[in-house]
Amino acid sequence: MNGTVKEFRLAEITFTKKEIENDRMLGIHTCEIQEWDGVMFDYHRGEPTPYRALEVLIDAYDPPEDPFLIDYGSALGRINFYFHHRLQMPGIGLEVDRDRFYRAGVNKEKYALKKGLSSDDVSIDFLELKAEEYFPPPHANVFYFFHPFSDWIFRLVMGQILRSIDERDRTVDLLLYYPSFQYFQAIESSGMFEEILFVDCGWNKDPRDGFWVFRHQQENNLSE
C-alpha cells in the first residue's frame, strides 16, 4: 500500500433477488463489488461470498467449541453478520480500506436494529488494518478467507496464526472459499492442519467454487 491514495470503481454485476432479500432480512447492504484501480496489487477486490454458497457451508460445517470468527478482507461485513445470525458466532472483521471499514460499522448499526439490539450488544467488531499485521487473540479459532489477498500475504497471515497457536494451543479451523493452489501449499507446508471438509458449490462448473475447511486439532484432544 505504502500510503497510496486509491480510488474505487464499481464492477458491473447483477445480484440475484435472493441475494438482495437476504441482505434485507439481516438489515444490511453488502450486495456490491468494489474494484481497486491498480494501486492495491496485493489486496483483491471487495466481493461478498454468495448467500447461496454460505447456506450450503453452514448446513455442513460443525465449528469448534466456543467459536470466534476472524474474517480476513471483511469488506462490508457479510460473513460476520451471517455467521452471527446463523450460528450466534461472535467475531472480528479485518478490512484494509477505510471506506469499507466505515460502511461495515454502519451495517452493524442496522443489523443490531433489525435484531432489536443495541450495537454494543452485537458481538462483532471491525478493525481497519493490514491482515499481515494482525496477531489473532488466543480465543480466535475460526479464520475465513475468500481469497482476499496475494499468496505471499497469505503466508504472512498464516505465520501470525501459527504463532498464536504456539502461544496458546487450541483447535483452529481455516475456512477457504475460492482459494488459490498457493494457499493450499502454505497450509500444507505448515504441517499443522488437515482437511476435514469440502463443500462443493455444484451449480458452478468452476472447480474452485467451493469451501475447504482445514483443522488444527488441539494436542490434548487428538485422541478424541
List average pLDDT for each run of 10 residues in the chain, which is 224 residues long: 38 73 97 69 78 96 98 96 98 93 97 97 97 97 93 96 98 95 96 97 77 94 55
Whether 12 is covered by a domain: the verdict is yes
Instruction: Give the range of the structural domain holding residue 165, as residue numbers without chain letter.
Output: 8-221
Q: How far is CA 120 from CA 70, 74, 84, 116, in A?
A: 18, 19, 14, 12
Question: Is there a domain that residue 137 lies in?
Answer: yes
Q: Alpha-carbon distance 82 to 19, whole Å? A: 12
d(CA 205, CA 13): 19
pLDDT score, position 7: 40
Residue 6: predicted pLDDT: 41
Where do the DSSP E strands lie in the chain?
8-10, 34-36, 69-72, 91-95, 124-128, 142-145, 172-177, 194-200, 210-216
- In three-state secondary structure terms, 43 is strand
**Residue of 138, 191, 148 lying closest to 168 (CA atoms):** 138
| CATH code assigned at 214 | 3.40.50.150
**pTM, whole model, 2 decimals?**
0.90
Closest CA to 141 of 64, 196, 71, 219: 64
2 in any annotated domain: no
> How many domains does one find in the chain?
1
**Domain contains 40:** yes
Buried b (16+ CB within 10 A) or exposed e, 193-208: beeeeebebeeeeeee
1 in a domain, yes or no?
Answer: no
Whether 27 is covered by a domain: the verdict is yes
Give domain status of residue 3, yes or no.
no
pLDDT of residue 20: 94
